[in-house]
Amino acid sequence: MTTPPTDYASVFAERGEPTPVAPAGLNAPASETILVDSHVVSCDGGNAPLGHPRVWLRIAGQRIMCPYCSRLYVLTADAPAVAAH
């Protein structure tokens, strides 16, 4: 299994493509940080009627941010490793 690159700008440069620019606010701080022990989590934004559609997020590294509500999901130190396929 190969490790995904951490410097995506170099990946686009190798392809001869322009580096995408993140939309404004993408690097905003997390609205809430949630510790999880699973590499797959669901997020509906909480606040039932004021939430967002449920999305399933796969944590490839140590954390992932919900693209809708900016909740940050962080794997706990004792989270099981993902088995390779």
30 in a structural domain: yes
85 in a structural domain: no
- Backbone torsions φ then ψ of 48, nearest 5 degrees: -5, -80
Q: How many domains does the chain have?
A: 1
Is residue 81 within 8 A of residue 25, CB to CB? The reply is no
45 in a structural domain: yes
Q: What was the pLDDT predicted at 1? A: 47
Which structural domain range is residue 71 located in? 8-75
- Specify the residue for token string 């190969």: 2
54 in a structural domain: yes
The string of pLDDT tens digits covering residues 13-66 is 776 766 655 555 555 677 789 999 999 999 998 877 788 999 999 999 899 999
15 in a structural domain: yes
Other C-beta atoms closer than 10 Å to the C-beta of 73 total: 23
**Structure-model confidence comparison of residues 16 and 70, the more confident one:** 70
82 in a structural domain: no
Q: What is the CATH number of the domain that holds 62?
A: 2.60.260.40
